[in-house]
Amino acid sequence: MSTTDAIIRLHQVSRFYQAGTVKVTALSGIDMELSRGDFVTIMGPSGGGKTTLLNLMGGLDRPDTGDIHLNGHHISQMDDRGLTDLRRREIGFVFQFFNLLPTLTVWENVELPLLLSGAPGRARQSIATLLDYVGLLNRRDSFPAEMSGGEMQRVAIARALVHRPSIVLADEPTGNLDSVNGHKILDILKEACDDFQTTVVVVTHNPTAAQYGNRHFEIEDGRLKTSSPVPGNG
Ligand SMILES: Nc1ncnc2c1ncn2[C@@H]1O[C@H](COP(=O)(O)OP(=O)(O)OP(=O)(O)O)[C@@H](O)[C@H]1O
């Protein structure tokens, strides 16, 4: 893989936490390079460092050592304001518990990233396009409490994609869903990855999820243990 088409590049990234008198190594010496359109799955035992890694990739946290470049931006050196701007432009997040705002309708939840980033009015057309894409345009006026878990996660995916991010980071997106709905969510993420050439990173405990990806990583004790091939595909 050439460095030039990398969407995100991590070089010798480490993150430590202080838990009382104990120093916890959450991540140590991570090197990773992902390209446009990669569908990446990350697995590993609980406490291994998966969420820490996703938070660093998304600029929600900063590494203690090492560098992270996202689409040409050196995010490990950006200030809070720069990171917030970058997140609004370049990154979409999907969470296990959907994180929709309960007082907003489906349409308004998906619109929110556009309002926050000051996108022009014409960008609002993409709300309808994306709600149609996830099969929920007819639910545009519903509130999250009126929807199933699978439907809420589809809204969350539309929200994550509405500003056409270069990367979508999904932390256990199927963790709160039954297997039928879990597959539906992974199908939509895979389609979005292919249709929009968005890089998608999925942290998961679900072994079948790993088979959706073209790249797979295992993280244990804060270290990258293995990368590719995808389990079960060879
Ligand atoms: N804010 C924090 N303060 C102290 N230690 C932390 C903090 N956040 C994470 N850790 C520790 O860092 C390590 C990695 O945690 P992380 O949440 O990244 O693991 P994970 O692989 O996502 O786990 P899980 O699969 O259970 O969600 C763990 O030992 C955890 O206890």
CATH of the domain at 50: 3.40.50.300
DSSP state of 33: E
What's the chain's average pLDDT?
A: 91
- Residue 234, pLDDT > 60, answer no
| 95: in domain | yes
Q: CA 176, CA 180: separation in Å to the nearest integer?
A: 12
Residue 232 belongs to a domain = no
The answer to whether 154 and 147 are in contact (CB under 8 A) is: no
Report pLDDT digits (tens) over 111-158. 999 988 887 777 778 899 999 999 999 999 999 999 999 999 999 999
Q: Is 18's C-beta closer than 6 angstroms to any atom of ligand 1?
A: no
pLDDT at 38: 95
Give the largest CA-CA distance in the chain: 54
- Asked whether residue 30 is assigned to any structural domain, the reply reads no
The answer to the question of residue 195 being in a domain is yes
pLDDT tens track for 28-41: 999 999 999 999 99
Determine if ligand 1 sits within 6 Å of the CB of residue 54.
Answer: no
Quote the number of domains for the chain.
1
25 within domain boundaries: no
Is 7 part of a structural domain of the chain?
no
Q: What percent of the chain has a predicted confidence (pLDDT) above 70?
A: 94
Contact 169, 57 (CB under 8 A): yes
| Angle in degrees, 0-180, between the axes of helices 125-133 and 149-161, rounded to the nearest 10 | 140
Global ipTM:
0.96
Residue 92 domain boundaries: 35-62+77-227
Residue 29 lies inside a defined structural domain of this protein: no
Whether residue 144 lies inside any domain: the answer is yes
Whose C-alpha lies nearest to ligand 1, atom 29? 47
CB-ligand 1 contact for 204 (6 Å cutoff): no
Query: Over the stretch 193-216, which tens digit does the pLDDT of each residue have?
Result: 999 999 999 999 988 888 899 999
Protein residue closest via CA to atom 5 of ligand 1: 17
Sheet holding 73-74, edge to edge: 22-35, 6-19, 65-70, 73-74
CA of 49 to the centre of ligand 1 (A): 6
Residue nearest to atom 12 of ligand 1 (CA): 26
Ligand 1: does its nearest atom lie under 6 Å from the Cβ of 22?
Answer: no
Read off the DSSP letter of residue 144.
G
